[in-house]
Amino acid sequence: MRVSTTQLATMKRKGRRIVMLTAYDYSTARLAEEAEIPVILVGDSLGMVMLGFESTIPVTLDMVLHHTAAVVRGNRTSLIVGDMPFLTYRGNPDEALRNAGRLLQEAGAGAVKVEGADTAATIRRMVDSGIPVMGHLGLTPQSVNQLGGWKAQGKTPAAAAQMLDDALTLQDAGCFALVLETVPATLAGIISRRLTIPTIGIGAGPACDGQVQVLHDLLGWYPDRTPKHARVYAPLGDIIRDAFRAYAADVQAGTFPAAAQTIDVDPALFAGLEPGGSRQSLAEGTVPVIIPSVEAGGDTLDAELRYGGGRQP
């Protein structure tokens, strides 16, 4: 059974920290389930870390639907939150409701996330229609052009007071949780204590009720682009690059594939195909194929292509 929004509320009341991580595909979603991550955000950050855009603004609803559906297929226990992309929840309230509904109905998400407090009325309508909504304040990436770049928010008394007011507005609108991104830790702590709903911090210090990190930052996928708020738990960028180089070197040296990765038959069966050979020497009918076995962890496996427990033709 999946984690519910009410369970997150209980975690806040009991002082249990909430762990949220982004994921964008089936494979990482499966690993997140095995690691017992309670909340997965299919963020519009996929536009930057998966698709190579300079910001999240080019991301479309169809892109998020595609990735969210893959994550849902790979994870059966986490609460899956689908990010609502730029302009998909502003303007026409009816269209915003339909777009949010598609994330639940078509992709299988359990909730959606929206940025800013100016959409409180739309959020209330979504919540009243049965769609759980997570809010997002502080550095809101969809407003990066308006904010003048990737800058911390809420650093002055006036800005801090406005953010607290916005947080209370989103809580009153029915949000079940609130992301606080790149804001002073002191302010994040104040907001977390003032709200009854959980706060999830990213670059907002340790006083939030939980934390979220972008998968690629946590795994060191892009070593030259790790933000200040991220801690690299595994340098996979370096590991994967080194693996690619080792594979290329083996191919170029002729050491891959070796016998363990090779399927073959008795060469005499195909002697007639060699230059100067006679095709009449080939046996008619079905040629028996000899498939060698390989040792893997002490178990003998047929040397056939396998993927995800199934066999490829």
**Residues designated as active site:** 181
Closest CA to 202 of 139, 145, 260, 129: 139
How crowded is residue 156: how many other Cβ atoms within 10 Å of its Cβ?
10
Cα–Cα distances (Å) from 229 to 91, 111, 156, in that order, read 33, 25, 20
Cα–Cα distances (Å) from 59 to 65, 85, 160, 274, in that order, read 11, 6, 29, 54
Which residues are paired to 77 by β-bridges? none
Burial class (CB in 10 A: 0-12, 13-18, 19+), 263: middle
DSSP string of 89-123, one letter each residue = SSS-HHHHHHHHHHHHHTT--SEEE---STTHHHH
CA 119 – CA 156 distance, rounded (Å): 24
3-state secondary structure (DSSP) of residue 282: coil
Dihedral sign of CA atoms 96, 132, 116, 172 in order: positive
How long is the chain?
Answer: 313
Tell me the chain's radius of gyration from C-alpha atoms: 26
